[in-house]
Structure 1
Amino acid sequence: MTPDLEQVRALLGAPHRAGTPPHWIEHAEAVLGPLPPSYRWWLAEYGSGAVGGASIATVSPPEYVEDSDAITAAWRRDDDRLCFHVEDDGAEHRFALDRRRADGECPIVRRDPFDGEEDPVAETFAGFLAVHDARARGLRDGPNPTIAQLWRATPGLLRPDGLLLYGPHEIAERNETFEVARYAPGWTLVGDDSGGRGLLMRHHGRDRRSVYVLDLGALGEDVADVGDLLTNDLIGWLAAV
């Protein structure tokens, strides 16, 4: 799934900055090859930042390509891996360049500093930001496996028809506003249609895949009985429509 960059902007919640000059990014790509689009966008829009207290690799002026903080530093490249973030314990987050998708995005893997094993983290750089934001907010990976999968690609999604899937930066506030835990216990509001109807999914039990659409003024324990079933495969449905 292609990241929704406006939702990334909302997730970051930081004022717009000048970012990195375009020719710096172009020079970095002349050294490394094409950078993943959502990471390239972040460089152009923000230029610098940190996750978990550790800086994300940035782009330096062309004459400083070997600066340790620069994505072009030689130590960051290891065959088909490109390290852009190092945790305090030495664990590295890397772009898996050999698994680049058709849209140019690269999955993110975490390399353990002790045994060198890799674990998948996210499907895109935007998803990496979403996953870490969710965990920092105490949301773990998401309210259910489907939303966790969505967030690994994009921190929410706004479609042209007004349907909005929430990212970790807004899901708690939306659920609190509509008192979902009170009126529809066992359910989570995962989005809305921008017209007064919410998208709800179970956050425990066997069926945590089905998405129901229901007027937000009619919330109750019987969501599955009174709501309209939208899909039982949200990710596939989003890809198809």
Structure 2
Amino acid sequence: MYENLAEKLKTTSALKWFPGHGAEESWIVEVEEELGFRLPPSYRWWLAHYGNARLNGGEILTIAPPEYRDEYDGDLLYIHRLNKAEEWLVSRFPHRLDVFVPDSDELYYFDTSTRDAQGEFPIMCYDLMNDLIDTYASTFAEFLERLIDERS
């Protein structure tokens, strides 16, 4: 199902990922239970098979082992908890679940207010300098492919 993406990941130099660091299914389920919804299928696939990556000085957020989740700033749930603690952020972006915060003037997040027939959330790009939000990709798999294509 994700053959094209897997092929791109084999050959890209834009995205640095480290084999053997996939998330365990039980970790994913724990995170989903706290979030109150199921993560998108392509993101679950990524988490299970790859789990981590760096691009342009930023990490694509992952799910860390539970014993590190409260202190690892590359963990999806850790960042979500920090965001939830900021009232202004929750009121402005109630359906935002960050997925990639590069060292730049933009960030990428799942828009959890809408889900397609396959269970995917769109990925939004928030241009921090201009305070603009646009749809970047319709799925997490498309998001990764586009990042690789743009930076290769």
Work out which of the residue numbers 120, 123, 126 in structure 1 matches 2:141. Answer: 126
Residue number in structure 1 paired with 2:87: none
Following superposition, the deviation at residue 122 of structure 1 comes to: 0.7
Aligned residues: 134
Query: SS in structure 1 opposite 2:142?
Result: helix
Q: Residue 116 of structure 1: CA displacement?
A: 2.8
Partner AA of 1:59 in structure 2: I
Superposition pairs for residues 10-25 of structure 1, below 5 Å? 10-13=7-10, 17=20, 19-25=22-28
Alpha carbons 1:83, 1:94 under 8 Å: kept: yes
TM-score (norm 1): 0.51
Structure 2 gaps, min length 5: 11-16, 85-89
Task: Name the structure, 1 or 2, with higher relative contact order (CA <8 Å, separation 6+).
Answer: 2
Pair 1:80 & 2:91 matched = no
Q: Within 5 Å, give how 1:210-229 maps onto structure 2.
A: none
Q: Give 1:99's aligned amino acid.
A: T
Larger radius of gyration: 1
In the TM superposition, residue 65 of structure 1 has moved relative to its aligned partner by: 3.4
| Contact 2:61–2:99 under 8 Å retained in 1 | yes
- Offset, 1:16: 5.2
Is the 8 Å Cα contact of residues 18 and 52 (structure 2) preserved in structure 1?
no
Note the 1:1-241 alignment, pairs <5 A.
Answer: 4-13=1-10, 17=20, 19-32=22-35, 33-66=37-70, 67-73=72-78, 74-76=81-83, 78=90, 79-137=94-152
Q: Distance in 2 between matches of 1:133 and 1:76?
A: 27
Higher helix share: 2
Secondary structure in structure 1 of the residue aligned to 2:47: helix
Cα offsets for 1:177-208 (capped at 9, x unmatched): xxxxxxxxxxxxxxxxxxxxxxxxxxxxxxxx
| 8 Å Cα contact 1:28/1:62 also seen in 2 | no
Cα 1:30/1:91, change in 2 over 3 Å: same
Distance, in Å, in 2 between the alignment partners of 1:82 and 1:15 is 23
After superposition, the C-alpha distances for 1:127-146 in whole angstroms (9 at most, x for unaligned) are: 01111111123xxxxxxxxx
AA of the residue aligned to 2:75: A
Q: Given the two structures, how large is their TM-score scaled by the length of structure 2?
A: 0.78
Gaps of 5+ in 1: 138-241
C-alpha separation between the residues in 2 aligned to 1:61 and 1:133? 27
For 2:117 and 2:53, the matched residues in 1 are separated by 27
In 2, the alpha carbon distance for the partners of 1:15 and 1:54 equals 14
Work out the CA distance in 2 between the residues paired with 1:111 and 1:136.
18
Query: What is the CA distance between 1:76 and its match in structure 2?
Result: 4.6
- What secondary structure is seen at the aligned counterpart in 1 of 2:100? strand
What amino acid is the match of 1:38? S
Question: What CA RMSD, in Å, does the superposition of the two structures yield over aligned residues?
Answer: 2.0
| Whole-angstrom distance in 2 between the partners of 1:43 and 1:26 | 12
Say if 1:47 and 1:104 are closer, same or farther in 2 by CA, change over 3 A. same
- Paired residues of 2:61 and 2:76 also in contact (CA < 8 A): yes
